[in-house]
């Protein structure tokens, strides 16, 4: 990857961060922590990796994305808007009555959402079923899955973890957005997940770890995953909950956050500064 | 179009044999059909199918929740998954997966729950789904069907395959009492009239249809002509047939192999309460847990025999409203 492309993806990530906050700016509350920690992954998937056509959201041979941590819908909507699935203005309707952009991902309401999620653990199985369906039809498209690390408390994740290698689903690429926190605090203090990479490896996955806010490293991890045949892939992304949002990054309870107009303005200002810095580097 | 047999006798083939045969036929005709099981392939008689179709028959292991989720994902790619496990696990163990991944996501999966109610016999209370219909009734857009015999099963499975949406199909694995002639066809969402009569109506499902017919035969000796309706679709319930029965016979008994709470009896009671008044008695498990025993012992214990239905019929006849 050239430096220019890296900067473009970093710029896209900041734009997605801004749009994620825009999504929640009307109701001034939302699942900001987990949305912000997966922004670089969104930028990589929608900015470079995924084979998609926003004009044909139902194209069956597209790459599919299942966001099992469905409460992070706003980050996905922000990414979808940048690709033109719908107009940026629509982001302002998030979580308001009649919206097509509900807090949790809904495939029947939002263009570009490939599976309804929200009850944690379930996207794991849905993604496996989707990858299985494509493999059955001999399609070459990839199925991407995003889990939260707190979500890995769910037994269903580990049912799927056993099942997917048995089916040799090597076009399934999963990520754990490992921000080390869940709603009530640090995962280590609530239900310690131990070494997730080793656990998935033991379950038969091709597993690797990666800095989750480094777009270049995420791209490389995905490329490496694609080179391993016969196994599903797991990429543990080490991230920071609330990353890049000035009023969420350094607070303890940052799963679902309420914010003021002033906090919103300050956060957007900081992100604009980041954008300017990246653009200067691009020049 | 269905035809009723002249005499109700036990079928020669087990329901699971008919199930495996229809699955094989449909599989030959439609490559969208995928069969998933949670380590009960042998129990449902699908071992040959599994061996012959390893590419489209998936044993998920003992992972019912994952199975429903995987089936939902498969459906999203255009396939038609049929899942099987015992009714207890096909309903209460996977309720959230059925609700979110399947129904809320508007997927197209067919859930087979075997050993309905007391037909779990020797597996006992842990394995007796007496609440599965109740739970599924609360999930929007789910169709609930209980095939009565193998003639109905053969037709209904094909209809379920071709109808989009989530289906919950309650399937006895054992030999059923034969009610319908081979080749009969049925409409999803309708009730089938298996006996005409104007003094009282017995609305029954599953194994209770044969008991209802026996009860109706016994009532004839007492000068009572009982109508017997087979509510094989519990949701959506056939309101018109129930309202018609209420107006024409003015007394109703329901007979189900399920808790009387939230099952067929409740569905009928809701229709009656909202549309017309008519005395009602509900035969079924009276809000109790199941237990082990053979089928006859369990029918007697839970008061689900023809004699109990006949007694209830006479009671509701005695309660008819006077104009």
Interface test with B, best of A114, A122, A163 (most B CBs within 10 A): A122
Top CATH class, B192-318: alpha beta
Are B66 and A159 in contact by the 8 Å Cβ rule? The answer is yes
For chain A, helix (H) and strand (E) counts, in that order, are 10, 9
Q: Is B42 exposed, middle or buried (0-12, 13-18, 19+ CB in 10 A)?
A: exposed
Identify the band that residue B219 occupies on the pLDDT scale cut at 50, 70 and 90: very high
Distance of residue B144 Cα from the nearest chain A Cα, in angstroms: 23
Q: Stretch B160-166: mean pLDDT, rounded?
A: 98
Contact A118 B100 (CB under 8 A): yes
Whichever domain contains A132, its CATH number is 3.40.50.970
| The two structure tokens encoding residue B171 | 């399937």
Rg (CA), chain A: 18
Q: Please give the residue range of the domain that contains residue A52.
A: 3-282
Judging by DSSP bridges, how do beta strands B33-37 and A64-67 pair with one another?
unpaired
Q: What does the pLDDT read at residue A282?
A: 83
| The two structure tokens encoding residue B62 | 């003992």
Residues of A in contact with B72 (CB under 8 A): 115, 125-126, 129
d(Cα B184, Cα B149) in Å, to the nearest integer? 11
Closest by Cβ to B79, choosing from A114, A116, A133: A133
**Nearest chain B residue (CA) to A114:** B76
Which phi and psi (to 5°) does residue B59 adopt? -95, 110
**A15-29, B78-92, B254-268, B309-323: which range is least confident on average?**
B309-323
Q: How far is CA B258 from the centre of its chain?
A: 10
pTM here is: 0.97
Residues of B in contact with A126 (CB under 8 A): 69-70, 72-73, 76, 101, 105
Q: What is residue B83's DSSP assignment?
A: E
Distance of residue A266 Cα from the nearest chain B Cα, in angstroms: 38
d(Cα A95, Cα A31) in Å, to the nearest integer? 11
Closest by Cβ to B70, choosing from A66, A121, A129: A129
Cis status of the peptide bond prior to B161, with omega within 30 of 0: no
Residues of B in contact with A118 (CB under 8 A): 100
Q: What are the E-state strand segments in chain B?
A: 4-14, 33-37, 57-59, 80-86, 110-114, 143-145, 167-171, 175-180, 192-195, 200-204, 226-230, 233-235, 252-259, 280-285
Contact A156 B104 (CB under 8 A): no
Are B208 and B304 in contact by the 8 Å Cβ rule? The answer is yes
Share of chain B above pLDDT 90, in %: 98
Q: What does the pLDDT read at residue B322?
A: 74
Contact A132 B101 (CB under 8 A): no
Q: Is B264 exposed, middle or buried (0-12, 13-18, 19+ CB in 10 A)?
A: buried
Residues of A in contact with B140 (CB under 8 A): none
Closest by Cβ to B73, choosing from A118, A126, A137: A126
**Nearest chain A residue (CA) to B103:** A116
Tell me the average pLDDT of chain B: 97
Identify the band that residue B323 occupies on the pLDDT scale cut at 50, 70 and 90: low
Number of domains in chain A: 1
d(Cα B71, Cα B210) in Å, to the nearest integer? 34
Are A100 and A109 in contact by the 8 Å Cβ rule? The answer is yes
d(Cα A179, Cα A150) in Å, to the nearest integer? 9
Distance of residue B69 Cα from the nearest chain A Cα, in angstroms: 5
Identify the band that residue B98 occupies on the pLDDT scale cut at 50, 70 and 90: very high
The SS3 assignment for A20 reads helix
d(Cα A133, Cα B88) in Å, to the nearest integer? 27
d(Cα A114, Cα A242) in Å, to the nearest integer? 25
Q: How far is CA B126 from the centre of its chain?
A: 19
Are A198 and A157 in contact by the 8 Å Cβ rule? The answer is no
Residues of A in contact with B106 (CB under 8 A): 107-108
- All residue ranges of chain A with pLDDT < 50 are none
Q: Tell the CATH superfamily of the B14-180 domain.
A: Thiamin diphosphate (ThDP)-binding fold, Pyr/PP domains (3.40.50.970)
d(Cα A258, Cα A244) in Å, to the nearest integer? 16
Q: What does the pLDDT read at residue A283?
A: 79
Are B212 and B204 in contact by the 8 Å Cβ rule? The answer is yes
Contact A60 B77 (CB under 8 A): yes
d(Cα A75, Cα A65) in Å, to the nearest integer? 13
Give the CA dihedral A96, A98, A103, A104, nearest 10 degrees: 170
* Residues paired with residue A174 on neighbouring β-strands, in sequence order: A145, A234
Residues of B in contact with A155 (CB under 8 A): 65
User: How big is the A-B interface in CB pairs under 8 Å?
Assistant: 106
Identify the band that residue B321 occupies on the pLDDT scale cut at 50, 70 and 90: confident
* Residues paired with residue A65 on neighbouring β-strands, in sequence order: A144
Reported as a single tens digit per residue, the pLDDT across A258-278 is 999 999 999 999 999 999 999
Reported as a single tens digit per residue, the pLDDT across B39-73 is 999 999 999 999 999 999 999 999 999 999 999 99
Walk across the sheet containing B110-114 and list its strands: B57-59, B33-37, B80-86, B110-114, B167-171, B143-145, B233-235
ipTM of the complex: 0.97
Contact B101 A126 (CB under 8 A): yes
Same fold across B14-180 and B192-318 = yes
| The two structure tokens encoding residue B114 | 């075997």
Q: What does the pLDDT read at residue B94?
A: 98
- The candidate with the shortest Cα–Cα distance to A116, out of B77, B109, B104, B68, is B104
């Amino acid at each position: 990857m050239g430096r220019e492309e890296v900067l473009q993806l970093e710029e896209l990530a900041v734009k997605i961060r801004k749009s994620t906050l825009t999504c929640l700016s009307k109701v001034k509350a939302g699942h900001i922590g987990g949305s912000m920690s997966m922004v670089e992954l969104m930028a990589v998937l929608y900015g470079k990796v995924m084979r998609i056509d926003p004009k044909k959201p139902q194209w069956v041979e597209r790459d599919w994305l299942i966001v099992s941590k469905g409460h992070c819908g706003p980050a996905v909507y922000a990414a979808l808007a940048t690709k033109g699935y719908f107009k940026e203005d629509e982001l302002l309707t998030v979580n308001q009555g009649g919206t097509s952009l509900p807090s949790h991902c809904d495939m029947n309401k939002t263009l570009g959402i490939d599976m309804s999620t929200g009850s944690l653990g379930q996207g794991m199985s849905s993604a496996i079923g989707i990858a299985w369906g494509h493999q059955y039809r001999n399609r070459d498209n990839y199925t991407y899955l995003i889990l939260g690390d707190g979500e890995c408390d769910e037994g269903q994740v580990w049912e799927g973890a056993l099942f997917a290698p048995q089916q040799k689903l090597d076009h399934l690429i999963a990520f754990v957005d490992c921000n080390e926190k869940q709603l009530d605090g640090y995962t280590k203090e609530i239900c310690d997940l131990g070494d997730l990479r080793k656990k998935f490896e033991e379950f038969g996955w091709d597993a690797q770890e990666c800095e989750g806010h480094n777009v270049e490293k995420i791209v490389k991890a995905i490329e490496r995953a694609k080179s391993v045949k016969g196994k599903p892939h797991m990429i543990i992304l080490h991230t920071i909950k609330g990353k890049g949002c000035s009023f969420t990054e350094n607070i303890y309870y940052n799963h679902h956050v309420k914010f003021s107009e002033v906090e919103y303005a300050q956060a957007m200002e900081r992100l604009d500064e980041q954008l300017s810095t990246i653009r200067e580097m691009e020049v | 179009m269905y035809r009723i047999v002249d005499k109700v006798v036990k079928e020669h083939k087990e329901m699971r044999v008919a199930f495996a045969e229809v699955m094989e036929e449909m599989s030959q005709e439609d490559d969208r059909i995928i069969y998933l099981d949670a380590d009960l392939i042998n129990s449902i008689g699908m071992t040959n199918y599994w061996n012959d179709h390893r590419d489209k028959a998936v044993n998920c292991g003992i992972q019912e929740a994952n199975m429903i989720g995987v089936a939902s994902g498969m459906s999203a790619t255009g396939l038609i998954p049929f899942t099987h496990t015992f009714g207890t696990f096909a309903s209460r163990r996977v309720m959230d997966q059925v609700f979110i991944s399947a129904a809320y996501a508007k997927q197209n999966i067919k859930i087979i729950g075997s050993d309905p109610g007391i037909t779990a016999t020797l597996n006992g209370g842990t394995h007796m789904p007496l609440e599965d219909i109740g739970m599924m009734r609360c999930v929007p857009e789910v169709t609930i069907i209980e095939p009565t015999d193998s003639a109905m099963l053969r037709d209904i499975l094909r209809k379920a395959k071709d109808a989009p949406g989530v289906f919950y199909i309650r399937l006895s694995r054992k030999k059923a009492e034969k009610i319908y002639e081979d080749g009969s066809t049925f409409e999803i969402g309708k009730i089938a009239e298996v006996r005409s009569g104007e003094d009282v109506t017995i609305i029954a499902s599953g194994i209770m249809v044969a008991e209802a017919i026996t009860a109706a035969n016994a009532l004839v000796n007492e000068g009572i002509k009982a109508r017997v309706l087979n509510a094989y679709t519990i949701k959506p319930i056939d309101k018109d047939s129930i309202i018609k029965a209420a107006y024409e016979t003015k007394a109703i008994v329901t007979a189900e192999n399920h808790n009387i709470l939230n099952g067929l009896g409740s569905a009928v009671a809701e229709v009656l309460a909202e549309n017309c008044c008519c005395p009602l008695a509900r035969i079924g498990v009276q809000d109790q847990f199941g237990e082990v025993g053979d089928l006859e012992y369990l029918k007697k214990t839970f008061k689900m025999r023809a004699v109990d239905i006949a007694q209830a019929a006479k009671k509701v006849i005695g309660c008819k409203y006077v104009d």
